[in-house]
Chains A and B, each alone.
Chain A
């Protein structure tokens, strides 16, 4: 996030506002049965699940305390969630203060490619219509 400080803070406030509004909507309204959720474009076009399919439903369950149900919807998102929140908070603080406020280990290229492979593998496996792979699809 380069740019002038004022613009940077405005962008940050905008992002937090959108994220906060999304969280409130996801908490209040169950995805799949409400006007607030567009269907996944990839899923409606191909019929296959994308890596993020079930994330909104899972987050709704998680916000209501149903951790098992959340993992049943999208396990990858639930595993990634704490790491993503921490990493994003660290990057935002760094862009605000110009230095690391939260310690964040450097992600080596090797680790980065491993994460990329994990996402692609999850994408493929959750579309195999067989147990135990169906456990990775929203259910």
Chain B
């Protein structure tokens, strides 16, 4: 089946689209019939934060990144800014800064109505942060082992 948000192919049985993060909805099994689906009340955006999109009704509004009406059930992507700052300060400046930029971009795209773009940016932030943290851990481990080896050699 295909994601209703971005059109990417979604694995059968997957709960989220791997490309844009939209909760996958199987046409054959609507989410209401899915007992694992969380109650929508806890998740849904308050109605006042859904921008009234007058621009989408204007002629010629289909430029790239044009504001889209929010698909039902779509949530604001997770905010990775705290993690990005922590990664920047703890180990990995480059990856952390890229993570900061992507997570702020996710926020600003969401505010401007580019919901799929917001999810894409948030996913990029997460990828950069995870890879940076793993590289940081590996470098730290190797440095400790190298230090140990030096000490052993001098004994």
Q: 1/0 per residue A28-49: CB within 8 Å of B? A: 0000000111110110000000
| Nearest-Cβ distance from residue B96 to partner chain A, whole angstroms | 8
Of A61-69, A112-120, A130-138, the one touching chain B:
A112-120
Neighbouring A residues of B83 by C-beta, 8 Å:
88, 91
* A6 is an interface residue with CB less than 8 A from chain B: no
Known: A84-B82, A99-B43. A116 touches B93 (CB 8 A): no
| Nearest-Cβ distance from residue B78 to partner chain A, whole angstroms | 7
| Nearest-Cβ distance from residue A111 to partner chain B, whole angstroms | 9
Find A41's partner among B79, B85, B139 (CB 8 Å cutoff). Answer: B139
Neighbouring B residues of A91 by C-beta, 8 Å:
78-79, 82-83
Known: A91-B79, A119-B85, A119-B97. A112 touches B139 (CB 8 A): no
| Nearest-Cβ distance from residue A82 to partner chain B, whole angstroms | 12
Q: 1/0 per residue B141-155: CB within 8 Å of A? A: 011100110010000
Interface residue SS majority, chain A: helix
Q: 1/0 per residue B74-85: CB within 8 Å of A? A: 000011011101
Q: Contact at B108–A112, with CB atoms within 8 Å?
A: yes
Cα A91 to Cα B76 in complex, Å, equals 13
Interface residue SS majority, chain B: helix
Find B90's partner among A37, A55, A109 (CB 8 Å cutoff). Answer: A55
Cα A116 to Cα B85 in complex, Å, equals 9
Known: A112-B103, A112-B104. A1 touches B85 (CB 8 A): no
Q: Contact at B43–A52, with CB atoms within 8 Å?
A: no
Q: Contact at A116–B104, with CB atoms within 8 Å?
A: yes
Q: Contact at B88–A52, with CB atoms within 8 Å?
A: yes
Neighbouring A residues of B91 by C-beta, 8 Å:
52
Neighbouring A residues of B96 by C-beta, 8 Å:
52
Known: A51-B88, A87-B81, A113-B104. 6 other contacts (CB 8 A): A2-B21, A38-B143, A76-B89, A107-B79, A112-B104, A115-B104
Give me 9 A-to-B residue pairs in the complex whose CB atoms sit less than 8 angstroms apart, sorted by A's number. A2-B16, A52-B89, A80-B89, A84-B82, A107-B107, A109-B107, A112-B100, A113-B104, A113-B108
